[in-house]
Amino acid sequence: GEGSFPDSRWLPPSGVQVGSLFRGVGDPTTPMWASSEGCERVSVEDAMATDDMPGIPALPVSARDAAEIQQVLGGAEAPADWQGRDGSPVYRLGPGPAVLNLTYQGNDTMATIENVFAVIEGAEEPDRYVILGNHRDAWTFGAADPNSGTAAMIELAQRFSMLQKQGWRPRRTIIFCSWDAEEYGLTGSTEWVEENREMLSTRAVAYLNIDVSVVGPVLLPSTTPQLDELLLETIKLVQDPDNSSQTVYDSWVKANASPKIQRLGNGGSDYAAFVQHVGIPSTNLIFGEG
């Protein structure tokens, strides 16, 4: 009911949201092992036959096109929670009487992706790793997803570089990761974790993920439980960039009747392989809402 762009943040009637219907993670031809040149692979046919692949061709459409289709559908009324907003026509389930012709043209392409890493070796515990990651691929221009996170990580790397030139070294090794092909199924990060599972399980201290870093003013933190206290201690030390009189913690509490740290239970971003394959303590930080 708020209208659409440019009057509000919602897509215009002609806008189409792009996404992937692949329900797995990583390269589907190398399930649970690393995808690299010359490695063993299952056939494309076998990969397509798994439950991770949708069996019905599907196409995202705009609200305008969807409304045209809905208007020519008959049959029973759709359930109340399937109906559109106020003022929309009644949605029906069909079948028919309209006939929709959908032509699907696809191709199977084996492409090369590239992750990019930067390493600052630790002074006291060089074989213990704190890992920071953000993906750099986007469906379209990626202003929020992932480039708001990319901007934050690049700026952090620049500050660490300045400190290094002054002789500073971290206690533990810091690894910056720029992941490729996240939107296709967390591919870059998953394959790297699969390739380095043993090393990560013994040496990784934590994985800190940023993806959609800024889409609003309110902190929305997610962690695994081991990092809850550290996160709370840290945001009490960081000044709110929008209000210099208080900390990020103060703003977070004021914006929420019952502020809560969320859990990383789903596979929404590149933390998934670190948490679910190796059990590395992880965080994912977003400023959103409002």
Q: Which two tokens stand for residue 96?
A: 């028919």
DSSP 8-state symbol, 177: E
Give dist(CA 41, CA 53) in Å, integer: 16
Angstrom CA distances, 227 to 2, 153, 170, 282, stand at 38, 20, 19, 7
Does residue 279 contact residue 198 with C-beta atoms inside 8 Å? no
Angstrom CA distances, 243 to 42, 75, 92, 217, 259, stand at 54, 55, 49, 11, 19
Give me the residues paired with residue 120 across strands. 174
Does residue 254 contact residue 217 with C-beta atoms inside 8 Å? no
Does residue 170 contact residue 122 with C-beta atoms inside 8 Å? yes
Q: Which amino acid is at 134?
A: N
Which sequence positions are flagged as catalytic? 182
- 10 Å CB burial of residue 166 (0-12, 13-18, 19+) is exposed
